[in-house]
Amino acid sequence: RKRILSGMQPTGTGALHLGNLEGALRTWVRLQDEYDMFCFVADWHALTTRYHEPEQIRKACLQVAADYIAAGIDPKKTTIFLQSQVKQHAELHLLLSMITPLGWLERVPSFKEKRELMQEKGEGDESISYGLLGYPVLMTADILLYRAHAVPVGKDQAAHLEICREIARRFNRLYGEVFPEPQALIGEETGVVPGLDGRKMSKSYDNCIYIADDADTVARKIMNAFTTPTKIRKTDPGVPEQCAVCQLRKLYDPEGYRVSWEEDRAGRRGCVQNKRELIDILNAYLEPMRARRQELLADPGALERILADGAERARDFAEQTMRLVRAALHFS
């Protein structure tokens, strides 16, 4: 059986948002019956920007794991674990860092973006660490450690996957074939899920709807979301590309979206109606997941056991890979 791996960072409270869910997690759930799946929580990655809040990261890990399961990941079929509980990630990261040209890392768009974001927030150059630059190398280690054939991620991770493939090729060329070249499985239909302000949904923009949000929070957020700025009256025409509410509607209810645009063009539809309908759609969709995550978080001991069990399975596989890697590098 082919192997699939993917992960998410436990940033902020750790709650996952609709971008994480539609961009990646849905695909994981779909693939878990057909493939050997590894899904992990990238807690070391979270330290690349949040090194000052390790306690919060640890708490957030349980939230991420709960959301994985609430969305449909089955711990019996899929190995769920925390990156930090499988030390082989660190060993492989170190070895891969020796064969990764600095220029590749400096060109990664997400590095440039994070640097700009941190500078905007007034954090000086000293908050931009060596670890942040090496982010894609650690991610490569995550993937190659399980000799994964495919990696389901959102579009924003494409550049990271490209580096991963280049590092794998380089390793194989230098030391012999150890790693398959992992394919990126990018959900093209979903693309980038827009946030409440129309930009990409992202914790760093504070424009997210979370799986954990209760019905009132969803309602409040949607009522305040961006719509077409030039549509003041009901009869003014909307511009679907500019309207976050419409983009979300399109994702969750394509038929309703089509009808609502016909009405819009005929001057019979206002933004408030669009918002009310979207609130109902989202709440109906999220309610079962909300309930499930609450149940899971009510028993943190059981969640910790799932993670411990997953880490053990992951370590077994990771250690097999490391034996091959150490042999290839004459360390065995």
From the annotation, which residues make up the binding site for ATP? 9-11, 19-20, 154-156, 193, 200-204
Does residue 84 interact with ligand TYM by CB under 6 A?
no
Tell me whether residue 7 or residue 310 sits nearer to ligand TYM (CB atom): 7
Binding site listing for L-tryptophan: 142
Contacts of 302 (CB under 8 A, 6+ apart): 296
Among 3, 12, 15, 24, binds ligand TYM (CB under 6 A): 24
Q: Which is nearer to ligand TYM, 15 or 143 (CB)?
A: 143
71 binds ligand TYM (CB under 6 A): no
Select from 19-27, 224-232, 285-293, 324-332 the region that touches ligand TYM (CB under 6 A): 19-27
Distance between CA atoms of 85 and 41, rounded to whole angstroms? 10
Identify which of residues 248 and 264 has a Cβ nearer to ligand TYM in the complex: 248
Element (H, E) at 294: helix 271-297
Task: Choose the catalytic residue: 2, 112, 200, 275.
Answer: 200
Active site residue 231: no
| CA–CA dist 221, 223 (Å, integer) | 6
Closer to ligand TYM by Cβ: residue 93 or 269: 93
Verify whether residue 200 is a known catalytic residue: yes
Contact between 227 and 194 under an 8 Å Cβ cutoff? The reply is no
Q: In this structure, are residues 252 and 194 in contact, taking their beta carbons and an 8 Å threshold? A: no
Q: Are strands 183-186 and 150-153 parallel, antiparallel or unpaired?
A: parallel
Instruction: For the chain, list the strands marked E by DSSP.
Output: 3-8, 36-41, 79-82, 150-153, 183-186
Q: Are 95 and 329 in contact (CB under 8 A)?
A: yes
> Contact with ligand TYM (CB under 6 A): which of 3, 4, 15, 23?
23
Q: At what angle do helices 271-297 and 215-223 cross, to 10 degrees?
A: 150
Q: Would you count residue 154 as binding ligand TYM (CB under 6 A)?
A: yes
Token digits of residue 285: 């969709």
Q: Verify binding: residue 157, ligand TYM, rule CB under 6 A.
A: yes
Residue 203 is a catalytic residue:
yes
d(CA 260, CA 238): 10
* 319 belongs to the binding site for ligand TYM (CB under 6 A): no
Q: Is 20 in the site for ligand TYM (CB under 6 A)?
A: yes
Asked whether position 296 contacts ligand TYM by CB under 6 A, the answer is no
Looking at residue 23, the DSSP 8-state letter turns out to be: I
- Please give the structure tokens belonging to residue 135: 């982010």
Smallest Cα–Cα separation from 243: which of 262, 257, 256?
Answer: 257
Task: Give the contacts of 240 (CB within 8 A, at least 6 positions apart).
Answer: 246, 247, 250, 261
Instruction: CB nearer to ligand TYM: give 7 or 198.
Output: 7
Q: Shortest gap between Cβ of 135 and ligand TYM (angstroms)? A: 7
**Nearest approach, Cβ of residue 203 and ligand TYM (Å):** 8
Q: Which residue is nearest to ligand TYM (CB)?
A: 23
Give Cβ neighbours of residue 112 (< 8 Å, ≥ 6 apart). none
**3-state secondary structure (DSSP) of residue 200:** strand
Nearer residue to ligand TYM within complex by CB, 45 or 293: 45
Q: What residue numbers does the annotated binding site cover?
A: 9-11, 19-20, 142, 154-156, 193, 200-204
Q: Of the candidates 15, 66, 132, 143, which one interacts with ligand TYM according to CB under 6 A?
A: 143
The catalytic residue positions are: 114, 200, 203
**Which residues here bind ligand TYM, judged by CB under 6 A?**
5-9, 19-20, 23-24, 42, 45, 139, 142-143, 151, 153-154, 156-157, 160, 192-193, 200-202
